[in-house]
Chain A
Amino acid sequence: DIQMTQSPSSLSASVGDRVTITCRASQGISKYLAWFQQKPGNAPKSLIYGASSLESGVPSKFSGSGSGTDFTLTISSLQPEDVATYYCQQYNSYPLTFGGGTKVEIK
């Protein structure tokens, strides 16, 4: 199985800050990586696929990059509505696996 490791597990930043979350795969997954946002009490929402492509309707303040084993999710200007836990997930091979999540809070 491919293990997905996210860092940090949590972060606190000020409104307007640029926030970066890292996801590392235990083996190469090309660009078969997705990012999800889960707000408290809600279902996850798909943000990014193919490491860097935004799902329809996702604001451009979210961006993704990387390939192989190292990936990042960036929020260009953190807003209160971005408070959530963010998960990465690889779909290069079965079983599909998720990172442990990064909880983003406002300082």
Chain B
Amino acid sequence: QLQLQESGPGLVRPSETLSLTCTVSGASISSTSYSWAWIRQPPGKGLEWVGTISYSGSTSYNPPLNSRVTMSVDTSENQFSLKLSSLTAADTAVFYCARLRHDFRNYVTIDSWGQGTLVTVSS
């Protein structure tokens, strides 16, 4: 059974860089049928796509975050990671990792979510 588990610090200081890791179990992160994503949700607010990374390492980022986001894949550990730099209080959110399933035309839909991890940006 597929499981996605986020890990990382719960508290980060303003201007610092957040590093989160998603560990995937029950599926291979190298599968060509899937890509992987980070999605965040500020407290009491809606969902915001952060970025997507494919099994090969190609990435797409949300334009407002593009200059601050880096995603990577570690196939040996079956993990993918997020780095978000120059943090401010506005980045306080629950961060979810998710699996995206490719259809036959290579469109991707989210089919599984991690439980999420709350990241608070505060001094």
Contact between chains at B110 and A98 (CB < 8 Å): no
Contact of B67 with A by CB under 8 A: no
What distance in Å separates the Cβ of B90 from its nearest Cβ neighbour in chain A? Answer: 18
Minimum distance in angstroms from B46 CB to a CB of chain A: 5
**Additional A-B contacts beyond A46-B109, A50-B103, A96-B52 (11; CB < 8 A):** A32-B107, A32-B109, A34-B109, A36-B110, A43-B115, A87-B47, A89-B47, A91-B109, A91-B110, A98-B47, A99-B46
| B-chain residues with CB within 8 Å of residue A64 when the two chains form the complex | none
Chain A residues within CB distance 8 Å of chain B: 1, 32, 34, 36, 42-46, 49-50, 55, 87, 89, 91-92, 94-101
Contact partners of B111 in chain A: CB under 8 A: 46, 49, 55
Residues of B within 8 Å of A50, CB to CB, are 103, 109
Contacts of B62 on A, CB cut-off 8 Å? 95
**Which residue among A49, A89, A96 has the maximum number of chain B CB atoms within 10 Å of its CB?**
A96
Interface 0/1 of B41-64, CB less than 8 Å to A: 000001111001000000010110
| B84 interface residue (CB < 8 Å to A) | no
* Residues of B66-80 whose CB lies within 8 A of A: none
Distance in angstroms between the alpha carbons of A89 and B113 in the assembled complex: 14
B110: which A residues are within 8 A, CB to CB? 34, 36, 46, 89, 91
Chain B nearest CB from A6 CB (Å) reads 9
User: Which residues of the partner chain A approach B46 to less than 8 Å between Cβ atoms?
Assistant: 87, 98-101
- 27 A-B interface contacts by CB (under 8 A): A32-B107, A32-B109, A34-B109, A34-B110, A36-B47, A44-B113, A45-B113, A46-B109, A46-B110, A46-B111, A46-B113, A55-B111, A87-B47, A89-B110, A91-B108, A91-B110, A94-B52, A94-B60, A95-B60, A95-B62, A95-B63, A96-B52, A98-B46, A98-B47, A99-B46, A100-B46, A101-B46
Which residue from chain A places its CB closest to the CB of B113 in the assembled complex?
A: A43
User: Secondary structure of the B side of the interface?
Assistant: strand
Q: Identify the closest chain A residue to B47 (Cβ).
A: A98
